[in-house]
Amino acid sequence: MKNTDSYRHLRGESIYIDDIPEISGTLHAVVFDSPVAHGKIKKLDISKAESLPGVVKILTYKDIPGENQIGAIIQDEELFAEKEVHFTGEPIALIIAENKRIARDARKLIDIEIEELPAIINPVEAKEKESFITPPRSFKTGDLNTGSKKSKYIFEGTAETGGQEHLYLETQGSYAIPKENGNILLYSSTQGPTSVQQITARVLGIPMNMTEVDVRRLGGGFGGKEDQATPWAVMAALAAHLLNKPVKIVLSRHDDLRMTGKRHPYIADYKIGLSEDLKIQFYKVEFIQDAGATADLSPAITERTLFHATGSYFIPNAEITVYSCKTNLPPNTAFRGFGGPQGFFAIESAIQKAADELKIPAYKIQEKNLIKDGEIFPYGQIAENTEAVNSWKTADRKYNIKKHFKEIIKFNAENTKLKKGMSVTPLCFGISFTNTMMNNARALVHIYSDGSIGISTGAIEMGQGVNTKMKQVAANIFSISTNRIKLETTNTTRVANTSPTAASSGADLNGKAVEIACNSLLKRLKETAAELLNVKYEEISLKNEYIYHKNKKTDISWNSLVSEALIKRVKLSEKGHYATPKIYFDKTKEKGHPFAYHVYGTAITTAVVDTVKGVYEIEEVKIIHDFGKSMNILLDKGQIEGALIQGIGWVTMEEIRHNEKGQLLANSLSTYKVPDIYSVPKNVFIEELETEGSKHAILKSKAVGEPPFIYGLGSFFAVQNAIKAFNPDYKPDFTAPLTYEKVLLGLYQ
């Protein structure tokens, strides 16, 4: 089944925030933001801007009726800066005008004086000054000394990854409409409607029940709208509330790039020890995370780095520490993988470093250390139903890693202008919000008198196809056509207290809630049918829109059963509530069972480098992926392709740069490079690993949103290996992205 939105997407008919037909009298708002990274606001004069014809009002912190505070995990972020600014792009005021152009013109007329203070742009400096978001946090398992004694080889080094812009096609935006009696209807392009509702209530000083947040779909989120869709929605709500007029904010691309946070850059210092037979004996790693100026989701992202720092491997003795460092940059935020990819990059760099020193291919170390059933992750969870070895072996059987490696050696011996390199990337990604409390969801299902169905859930459709999957769940239970089923908007008045659609668990959590609601309805419908036919409940089933008795088709159709149930006054609306069973985590011990299950896989990447120009292509990526029992292989393969290419972009070409004053240099798409059709791998093969799936996955179909991002990391090591084939003196540093410039320098180092 295809994504049910694709037809209307292609025709440009799908509705995003900026497509919602405007109510007459709608006003438009533009944000005035800090031009400097750190400073004291000495003077803010809005009078000239406010007197520009067409400007209705300019709002600052002084106009906020409730709290000027939007921090979710830690309350450390003002909606509008009061006395100090902490990053370039920090909102200071909101200009509301008859149209956007006037608002933008007015923005230039605001007169501000800021006394600049020293800004910390580099997270290493932040660490030295102990400028932290939260105290450093560590996971420990085994004993490093024991590991060290058992090690024949010990290597150390540094691995560095950069930021990454989400580049959702739809920029941040919101449309607020005042309703009677001070109520607000808020359309927002958010992954977290409940956060928007909560923070709006806090800032406006009204109860949550006066704010209704409604989301049709997002033009992409990728984590960038898990938390950072909130400020713009709150601003629109604030303006609508104060002016009693509909107010819309849709950020221009430039404003969005400048004002919003990105993936967290990390620096990892590691030490790894291996025994003679290449078993990893210990791993010690310290991560410096660049969190930006406020906490945002950094404490949770820190946590996922800790969980994924040992990658797909079993390491008996490990010590992992993350320093979440406060700098004067826009607060970095959730991005597909959520701190996990940064952990993976460090362990894979450490293994590659060891392989380079030992003059062996990295796959020999990787294969030896894959995690197996019964082994323990550093956070105390015992590995069950692992597929790390199975996916590796399946990849090896199909694609013969050793032979592929030898063919590349042969190719490199015969060619000078072009050199090839390969890498293998094993995947093991934990599914569940690491904050146990967040792992719950609800759904509301109505069966209407004509047999059609309306479903509301807490899940947000952002292109990943969660709505299509929700339809499949219901259609499967009732055995009716998906055409009868409609996914309603995600709305806080229908489904409340939701977790954001994130952590790849949108389909699992909400799907299970839909399943629970539909099963209750099915039970009542079957009871109705049994009564009608005067037979036993157990003998009734539903198949292809008909009622079956003892597996024989009756003449009662789905429609007539629904009509009959209504005549009998049977309840045909149901709410389902699901909370992932068994998971827990004890933060005082840093041990527990935080994940419902893990997703596994293996990717083999081949890159070819042009040794004259330093440019390269990712020739092919072959993936064996653990989908469990995929409920929608088209959607799931689409997720793998997208995540893979996003991962490749991160480690090869996407480069977030700031100048020494903390201003974003790569502030448009002419200077910030993302993978285009020419830079995606020439061939991508994705095959399903035969596995059982997990009962905690919806219909045993494992979560697929974030895990395959990790496959992209292989392109970094494949390109490095190609450079080594040309330049034996190449001393690789593990600093991503590996841009063309760096490749050229490496070739002739």
For 556, phi and psi rounded to 5 degrees?
A: -90, 115
Using the contact rule CB under 6 A, the part of the chain among 4-12, 142-150, 218-226, 591-599 near ligand MOS is 218-226
The entry of ligand MOS, ligand MTE, ligand LUZ, none near residue 434 (CB within 5 to 8 angstroms by kind) is ligand LUZ
571 CB-near residues (< 8 Å, 6+ apart): 524
Specify whether the CB–CB gap between 302 and 323 falls below 8 A: no
Provide the mask over 418-437, with x wherever binding to ligand LUZ is found by CB under 6 A and - wherever it is not.
---------------xxx--
| Burial of 552: CB neighbours in 10 Å, binned 0-12, 13-18, 19+ | exposed
Nearest to 438 by CA among 294, 345, 338: 338
Q: Which is nearer to ligand MOS, 30 or 301 (CB)?
A: 301
Binding to ligand LUZ in span 479-508, by CB under 6 A: 502-503
Instruction: Name the residue type at position 480.
Output: I
Residue 226 interacts with ligand MOS (CB under 6 A): yes or no? yes
Q: Which is nearer to ligand LUZ, 310 or 505 (CB)?
A: 505
339 Rama class: left (phi>0) / alpha (psi -120 to 50) / beta: left
Collapsing DSSP states into helix, strand and coil, what is residue 329?
coil
The entry of ligand LUZ, ligand MOS, ligand MTE, none near residue 506 (CB within 5 to 8 angstroms by kind) is ligand MTE
Backbone CA torsion sign across 635, 633, 639, 72: positive
541 CB-near residues (< 8 Å, 6+ apart): 526, 547, 548, 551
> Of residues 86, 262, 284, 304, which one binds ligand LUZ by CB under 6 A?
304
Residue holding tokens 């104060």? 242
Q: Would you report the helix, strand and coil content of the chain in percent, each value rounded to 5?
A: 35, 25, 40
The pair of three-digit structure tokens given for residue 47, joined into one six-digit string: 């009078």
Nearest to 279 by CA among 146, 144, 153: 153
> Of residues 32, 282, 338, 379, which one binds ligand MOS by CB under 6 A?
338
Q: Annotated active-site positions, please?
A: 706
> Of residues 191, 228, 691, 721, which one binds ligand MOS by CB under 6 A?
191
Provide the mask over 677-706, with x wherever binding to ligand MOS is found by CB under 6 A and - wherever it is not.
-----------------------------x
Residue 399: how many other CB atoms lie within 10 Å? 17
- Residues that bind ligand MTE in the complex, under the rule CB under 6 A: 220-223, 336, 462-464, 466, 501-507, 639, 642, 703, 705-706
Provide the mask over 78-107, with x wherever binding to ligand LUZ is found by CB under 6 A and - wherever it is not.
------------------------------
> Of residues 262, 271, 336, 598, which one binds ligand MOS by CB under 6 A?
336
155 CB-near residues (< 8 Å, 6+ apart): 271, 272, 273, 350, 353, 354, 357
Return the DSSP state at 97.
Answer: E
Taking the complex as a whole, the smallest distance from the CB of residue 245 to ligand MTE amounts, in Å, to 31
Specify whether the CB–CB gap between 280 and 274 falls below 8 A: yes
Taking the complex as a whole, the smallest distance from the CB of residue 623 to ligand MTE amounts, in Å, to 16
Taking the complex as a whole, the smallest distance from the CB of residue 101 to ligand MTE amounts, in Å, to 30
Taking the complex as a whole, the smallest distance from the CB of residue 331 to ligand LUZ amounts, in Å, to 15
Specify whether the CB–CB gap between 447 and 480 falls below 8 A: no
Q: How far apart are CA 426 and CA 226, in angstroms?
A: 27
Specify whether the CB–CB gap between 261 and 133 falls below 8 A: no
Angle between helices 633-652 and 340-358 (to 10 degrees): 60
The pair of three-digit structure tokens given for residue 689, joined into one six-digit string: 């690993």
- Closest CB to ligand MOS: residue number: 223
Q: Which is nearer to ligand MOS, 334 or 473 (CB)?
A: 334
Q: Which is nearer to ligand LUZ, 41 or 579 (CB)?
A: 579
Nearest to 603 by CA among 630, 624, 580: 624
Taking the complex as a whole, the smallest distance from the CB of residue 399 to ligand MOS amounts, in Å, to 30
For 600, phi and psi rounded to 5 degrees?
A: -120, 170
Taking the complex as a whole, the smallest distance from the CB of residue 643 to ligand MTE amounts, in Å, to 7
Q: How far apart are CA 365 and CA 130, in angstroms?
A: 36
Q: Which is nearer to ligand LUZ, 462 or 503 (CB)?
A: 503
Q: Taking the mean position of all CA atoms in its chain, how far away is CA 223?
A: 4
Taking the complex as a whole, the smallest distance from the CB of residue 334 to ligand LUZ amounts, in Å, to 5
Using the contact rule CB under 6 A, the part of the chain among 219-227, 250-258, 284-292, 675-683 near ligand MOS is 219-227
Residue 196 interacts with ligand MOS (CB under 6 A): yes or no? no
The entry of ligand MTE, ligand LUZ, ligand MOS, none near residue 600 (CB within 5 to 8 angstroms by kind) is none
Q: How far apart are CA 722 and CA 616, in angstroms?
A: 9
How many residues bind ligand MOS, per CB under 6 A? 11
> Of residues 280, 427, 431, 503, which one binds ligand MOS by CB under 6 A?
503
Type and span of the H or E element at 555: strand 552-557
Backbone CA torsion sign across 499, 505, 511, 516: negative
Q: Which is nearer to ligand MOS, 611 or 646 (CB)?
A: 646
Asked if the peptide bond before residue 732 counts as cis, ω within 30 degrees of 0, the response is no
Residue 710 interacts with ligand LUZ (CB under 6 A): yes or no? no
Q: Which is nearer to ligand MOS, 626 or 706 (CB)?
A: 706
737 Rama class: left (phi>0) / alpha (psi -120 to 50) / beta: beta
Q: Which is nearer to ligand LUZ, 271 or 304 (CB)?
A: 304
Taking the complex as a whole, the smallest distance from the CB of residue 728 to ligand MOS amounts, in Å, to 40
The entry of ligand MTE, ligand LUZ, ligand MOS, none near residue 220 (CB within 5 to 8 angstroms by kind) is ligand MTE
How many residues bind ligand LUZ, per CB under 6 A? 9
Instruction: Name the residue type at position 420.
Output: K
545 CB-near residues (< 8 Å, 6+ apart): 479, 480, 481, 557, 558, 559
Instruction: Name the residue type at position 167.
Output: L
The entry of ligand LUZ, ligand MOS, ligand MTE, none near residue 310 (CB within 5 to 8 angstroms by kind) is none
Taking the complex as a whole, the smallest distance from the CB of residue 643 to ligand LUZ amounts, in Å, to 13
Taking the complex as a whole, the smallest distance from the CB of residue 500 to ligand MTE amounts, in Å, to 9
Q: Which is nearer to ligand MOS, 133 or 334 (CB)?
A: 334
405 CB-near residues (< 8 Å, 6+ apart): 361, 363, 422
Q: Which is nearer to ligand MTE, 38 or 469 (CB)?
A: 469
Q: How far apart are CA 214 and CA 236, in angstroms?
A: 14
The entry of ligand LUZ, ligand MTE, ligand MOS, none near residue 583 (CB within 5 to 8 angstroms by kind) is none
The entry of ligand MOS, ligand LUZ, ligand MTE, none near residue 712 (CB within 5 to 8 angstroms by kind) is none
Q: Which is nearer to ligand LUZ, 213 or 334 (CB)?
A: 334
Torsion of CA 286, 291, 292, 296, to 10 degrees: -160
The entry of ligand MOS, ligand LUZ, ligand MTE, none near residue 421 (CB within 5 to 8 angstroms by kind) is none
Q: Which is nearer to ligand MTE, 16 or 558 (CB)?
A: 16
> Of residues 351, 502, 572, 583, which one binds ligand MOS by CB under 6 A?
502
Nearest to 660 by CA among 204, 226, 37: 37
Interface residues with ligand LUZ (CB under 6 A) are 300, 304, 334, 338, 433-435, 502-503
Residues that bind ligand MOS (CB under 6 A): 191, 221, 223, 226, 334-336, 338, 502-503, 706
